[in-house]
Amino acid sequence: MEDSKIELADLGFSEADGKQLEARGISLENIEKQLDFFKHGIAKMNLVEPARLGKGIIDLSDADFENHALFFDANKTNLKLLKFVPASGAATRMFKFLNTFLNKFDVEKDSINAYVNRYMAYDIAIFIVGMDKFPFFDEVYAKLKEVYTDFDSLSRDKKNYYFIKMLMSPDYFDYANKPKGILPFHVYLNNIATPIEEHLYECGYYSSVNGFSNLHFTVSEDHKSSFEGIINTVKHLVERETQTSVDVTYSFQNKGTDTIAVDMHDEPFRDKDGQIVFRPGGHGALIDNLNQFDADMVFIKNIDNVILHNNENVALYKKALAGILLDVQQGVFGYLNQIENDELTEDQIPEVVAFFKEKLNRDMEANFYDFTFKSQLKSIKKALDRPIRVCGMVKNEGEPGGGPFWVRNEKNEISLQIVESTQVDLGSRKQSSILQEATHFNPVDLVCVIKNYKGEKFDLNQFVDHNSGFVVEKNVGGIPIKAYELPGLWNGAMAEWLTIFVQVPLITFNPVKTVNDLLKEAHQRS
């Protein structure tokens, strides 16, 4: 007990603070490391060059995609597939410009046209022009007519203002505080579909075996019942249409992955009761959730990247990525089993090295050919015995987010990584230039293998680059703070995985980052 008190005191914590950490399952070692990140910063990624077609990104023909998809369908019979969908975040950013409008606009003194011109708020103009095309329009409009008995006699600006106000109001629709997964996204002849429903359909299209599929959502505890309500309403209908039985499960972000917040002087930030303030560690915390599954192959896709269902193109490209993964996995497992059974010969070493280079974009460690044969086998096993991911990449169209790069680590090893701009030293002209030269963008379109050649689950935490997180600035009640986000799920959390990038068409990437994205072709019935 004395040692524990000394350790707490060394970090300026009280015994009460220690109990708070213990209740959350957060180790003092983790807190010490996070505080060190705040004080001394996190080393930036060392970009070598962008990954490009033919140099880190595979370029496939239509026939190639079809052949890889057929290979997957022919070899999936005995696999347990999982579709893993991060879905815990609220839709706050999706409606940010509407909340800004409500805070700045005076409906009694101003006109919307003047507001748009004054603030160059063209997103408001787009929203209003397309208002009747939104999937929630009829429901909100009906509620407006019910609440405001004189609604038809109001000016057009007031009608539009009250529409937006009702959409955002906690007393009515409160869309900005709801998770994206439960919001209306698509209008069909007989129903309005949420992203949850669209992901159910996708299970039948590409992640099912023998008429069965597994779908997992990571959600916040507050929103689980909302997800379950939608699932209970639509699941049997989707299953009947797709001839696929879907087992839906949920998990929450582990409180033990929450991270400490600090003030601008890097001291622990406390609430009005003197309690240490913690924040969710970001999507990188979900590596813990993924680590719980006993699946042979996992499809990972964001909750908002869906389109009107019955689209065979998206299914084709997802299955093609899975086919590429199966093909590479067979090669990796073949060599590892040969090593396990003392069947790999010295004459095969160049073949294995070529496979590692050509299929997995990696070189063997320095001085590999100076090793004894026994040491070479050990080096090969260490290099190949890892989780594998195949990541779809789309051409860069100016979307914010990460991209594919060749990166050099502190061991001087070069590998393919998905890198966010916040991980790059923008003060370096060279690094900033490499970032700007990126030709492709990460749409979060991953297919993964999380078991080894013996069929045992990897401990995914063993393959995380724990020094590749993010320090971000936030605001709590008007007070600026700094927060630490864990290495992102597809960034540092998978840094030590075997990685393959494949160019996929833009049709596979249709996220709804702002509500106006729902007006795009992929989300509208023709």
For 137-175, give the secondary structure using H, E and C.
Answer: HHHHHHHHHHHCCCHHHCCHHHHHHHHHHHHHCCCCCCH
**For residue 310, what pLDDT is reported?**
66
- Distances, alpha carbon 347 to alpha carbons 29, 362, 370, 403, 440, in Å: 47, 20, 15, 38, 38
User: Letter for the amino acid at 377?
Assistant: L
pTM attached to this predicted model: 0.94
**For residue 1, what pLDDT is reported?**
37
**For residue 399, what pLDDT is reported?**
67
**For residue 416, what pLDDT is reported?**
97
10-residue averages of pLDDT along the chain (526 residues): 54 85 88 90 93 97 97 97 93 95 94 96 97 97 94 95 97 96 95 96 95 97 95 96 96 91 92 90 92 96 89 88 98 98 96 96 91 96 97 85 91 94 93 94 96 97 91 85 92 96 93 96 88
Which segments of 361-491 does DSSP mark as H helices, in order?
373-384, 429-436
How big is the CA angle at 76 (ends 74 and 81), to the nearest 5 degrees? 155
For residue 218, give the nearest of 277, 289, 270, 127 by alpha carbon: 289
**For residue 445, what pLDDT is reported?**
94
**Residue 440 parent element (H or E):** strand 440-441
